[in-house]
């Protein structure tokens, strides 16, 4: 079995490549390294069944050729992170929509099973918590480009549904909720890596807004496990499915727990959203998934708690920063 992973040098993509290799697959990873990192591949880059290809998912000829030589496709290549999207809205939209179109077209041409990664951002400003896959969506105005990522991902989902309905392409869309863990970069506004790095350096831990907004931070190991279950399921074909955890935490509580795990004395500093993202930025207060659909489809339930996720991520971050592991985690 040869699996093609677009965005394979990214955070989730690299973990997916690693798990596929462990399962005996041959893995080809395509990435243009705009946000992905070769360091993410270091633990398996010399594996005899792994091949890295630097290139763009928008190169239709390249993508079609790779899909033709693969048995299954996992499409993760995308512009990600609030900070990156706000700074590069045009590139983000073009990459996310055209890239997905190129992958779906190639998979349809060669009848390849494909899993497309979407985001909980598509729920926008919805208030019907927990979010279910069939819920109506409430979006912010198009003049606020903060919502452009959500709009692009929604188009990706519509494209996938159209290919399923009109060409019977075996496609599954997974909506990821705040996936975290080792290798996640802090460069694009990701919450947990930024908090951990600041806590380990003894710097103020930044909490945007009043800190009462809540999220559900899922372990990348859980997400990859769920994705592979869905990739093997005929019942998941043509479906859009939430994946993540439903363990909810406020951002202020998260900051306090990060500080505790790191054994840090860092102060908590509240920062207005407009100081970071500009006066037009909008955020949602709660983002919690309904996991009923994925549980019914493949029996998935998250296994990693938030405290366990923080501990493993702190250990990994200490290694990257050449810092000793906090005393409370050395046992």
Say what the pLDDT of residue 81 is: 76
Instruction: Using pLDDT thresholds of 50, 70 and 90, give the confidence band for residue 267.
Output: very high
Instruction: Using pLDDT thresholds of 50, 70 and 90, give the confidence band for residue 241.
Output: very high
Q: Which residue has the higher pLDDT, 236 or 35?
A: 236
Q: Is 187 part of any domain? A: no
Q: Which of 15-19, 276-280, 311-315 has the lowest mean pLDDT?
A: 276-280
Say what the pLDDT of residue 254 is: 98
Say what the pLDDT of residue 209 is: 93
Cα angle vertex 212, ends 152, 267, to 5°?
110
Domain count, the chain: 1
Token representation of residue 325:
């592991």
Token representation of residue 215:
């999220």
What is the domain-level CATH number for residue 117? 3.40.50.720
Rounded distance, CA 163 to CA 157, Å? Answer: 10
Q: Is the pLDDT of residue 331 over 60?
A: no
Burial call 36-60: b when 16+ CB within 10 Å, e when fewer: bbeebbeebbeeeebbbeeebbbeb
Q: Which residue has the tokens 């296994």?
A: 303
Q: Is the pLDDT of residue 198 over 80?
A: yes
Q: Is 284 part of any domain? A: no
- Reference 195, options 272, 310, 36; nearest CA is 310
Rounded distance, CA 141 to CA 291, Å? Answer: 28
CA 54 from centroid of its chain's CA atoms: 20
Q: Which residue has the tokens 């896959």?
A: 133
Largest CA distance in the chain: 58
Please, is 247 exposed, middle or buried when counting C-beta atoms within 10 Å of its C-beta (0-12, 13-18, 19+)?
middle
Instruction: Using pLDDT thresholds of 50, 70 and 90, give the confidence band for residue 278.
Output: confident
User: Which residue among 149, 163, 188, 277 is the active-site one?
Assistant: 149
Global pTM? 0.96
Q: Is 235 part of any domain? A: yes
Q: Is 98 part of any domain? A: yes
pLDDT in tens, 180-191: 999 998 887 789
Q: Is 37 part of any domain? A: yes
CA 285 from centroid of its chain's CA atoms: 20
Question: Within 82-219, where are the H helices?
Answer: 82-87, 89-110, 148-167, 191-201
Structural domain boundaries enclosing 85: 2-177+219-243
Q: Is 170 part of any domain? A: yes
Active site residue 84: no
Rounded distance, CA 126 to CA 141, Å? Answer: 14
Say what the pLDDT of residue 158 is: 98
Q: Is 313 part of any domain? A: no
Average pLDDT, the chain: 95
Mean pLDDT of all residues in 139-166: 94
User: Which residues, 6 or more positions from 197, have their beta carbon under 8 angstroms from its beta carbon?
Assistant: 186, 317, 321
Q: Is 68 part of any domain? A: yes
Share of the chain above pLDDT 90, in %: 85
pLDDT in tens, 55-101: 999 999 999 999 999 999 999 999 887 778 888 889 999 999 999 99
Q: Which of 78-87, 148-157, 199-208 has the lowest mean pLDDT?
A: 78-87
- The answer to whether 203 touches 146, Cβ cutoff 8 Å, is no
């Amino acid at each position: 079995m040869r699996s093609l992973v677009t965005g394979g040098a990214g955070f989730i993509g690299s973990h997916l490549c690693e798990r596929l290799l462990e399962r005996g697959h041959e893995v080809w990873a395509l990435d243009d390294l705009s946000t992905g990192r070769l360091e993410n591949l270091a633990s398996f880059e010399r594996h005899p069944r792994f091949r890295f290809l630097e290139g763009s998912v928008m190169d239709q000829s390249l993508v079609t050729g790779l899909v033709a030589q693969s048995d299954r496709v996992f499409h993760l290549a995308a512009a990600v992170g609030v900070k990156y999207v706000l700074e590069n809205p045009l590139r983000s939209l073009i990459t996310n929509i055209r890239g997905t179109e190129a992958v779906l077209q190639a998979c349809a041409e060669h009848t390849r099973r494909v899993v497309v990664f979407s985001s909980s951002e598509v729920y926008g400003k919805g208030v019907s918590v927990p979010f279910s896959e069939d819920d109506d969506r409430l979006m912010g105005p198009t003049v606020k480009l903060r919502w452009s990522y959500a709009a692009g991902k929604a188009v990706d989902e519509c494209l996938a549904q159209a290919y399923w309905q009109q060409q019977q392409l075996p496609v599954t869309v997974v909506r990821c909720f705040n996936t975290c863990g080792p290798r996640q970069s802090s460069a694009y506004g990701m919450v947990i890596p930024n908090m951990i790095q600041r806590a380990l350096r003894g710097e103020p831990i930044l909490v945007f807004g009043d800190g009462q907004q809540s999220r559900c931070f899922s372990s990348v190991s859980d997400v990859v496990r769920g994705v592979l279950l869905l990739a093997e399921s005929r019942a998941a074909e043509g479906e859009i499915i939430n994946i993540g955890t439903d363990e909810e935490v406020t951002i202020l509580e998260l900051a306090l727990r990060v500080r505790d795990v790191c054994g840090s004395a860092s102060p908590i500093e509240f920062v207005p959203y407009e100081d970071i993202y500009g006066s037009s930025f909008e955020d949602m207060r709660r983002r919690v998934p309904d996991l009923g659909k994925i549980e019914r489809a493949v029996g998935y339930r998250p296994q990693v708690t938030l405290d366990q996720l923080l501990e493993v991520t702190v250990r990994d971050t200490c290694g990257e920063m050449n810092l000793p592991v906090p005393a409370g985690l050395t046992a």
